[in-house]
Amino acid sequence: MSPQDKVSRREFLTKTSLAASTAVAGAATGQVGAQEAEEYVQSDYSVRAKALVAVLTKKNLINPAEIDEVIEFYETKVGPHIVARSWVDPEFRERLLSDANAAATELGIERRRDLAAVANTPQVHNLVVCTLCSCYPWAILGLPPTWYKDAPYRARAVIDPRGVLKEFGTELDEGVEVRVWDSTAEVRYVVIPERPQGTDGMTDGQLQDLVTRDSMIGVEKLKSPV
């Protein structure tokens, strides 16, 4: 794939915003239903969240730096810790895939009832989406990225998962099966990415540093560090 074919995350979000604007405009001209347009409008939670944070900060009710620390902890520590442990401990991996809620508590994570883990293999690649709204394992991965909550991703991930993956720079061989998992309020999925080659001698901390949020959603494959 040439550099021109790869769509950056920023470009993906730009396309998303354009689609939302088109939907709203279409509602005004009768080209799309008002309910569909409203869905696009309501998907822009980030604008509302920023406004709320600004108001609460001005009133000295919250400290944005502390909020950032909490989000960073979940996005870069909790999920990667689970993944790295599953790479080096086959028995833990088996327990994780069988009962992710129970396995997560072994690592000091608060007991939950809605977590499920699915593992990527050379034959299977997993992709997580919430087609209804934006259900997401925030207790493991922190806040979801903006594009995850957006209607175009939610629709296209189901209809054309390989196309979506390609736009994120992830191209799979034709023989690899793509499985799309729909998160809900009852069950929220986390992907256990494949362990990159060339990491046999790495420490647990070094392995954790390789794991990204996007790889645990399934839009990214981890690359070898060498």
- Residue 164 CA to residue 170 CA, distance in Å, equals 9
Burial tier of 49 (Cβ tally within 10 Å: 0-12, 13-18, 19+):
exposed
| Residue in 133, 183, 215, 224 annotated catalytic | 133
Identify whether the C-beta of residue 106 lies closer than 8 Å to the C-beta of residue 78: no
Known active-site residue 135 = yes
Other Cβ atoms less than 10 A from the Cβ of 2: the count is 5
Specify the residue for token string 């400290």: 63
Residues in Cβ contact with 31 at an 8 Å cutoff, skipping those fewer than 6 apart: 25
| Residue in 43, 86, 130, 183 annotated catalytic | 130
- Residue 35 CA to residue 42 CA, distance in Å, equals 10
- Residue 211 CA to residue 154 CA, distance in Å, equals 23
- Per the DSSP assignment, residues forming a β-bridge with 188 are 115
Identify whether the C-beta of residue 218 lies closer than 8 Å to the C-beta of residue 127: yes
Would you state the structure tokens that stand for residue 93, as one six-digit string? 């991996």
Other Cβ atoms less than 10 A from the Cβ of 193: the count is 23
Known active-site residue 130 = yes
| Residue in 8, 46, 86, 135 annotated catalytic | 135
Catalytic residues: 130, 133-135
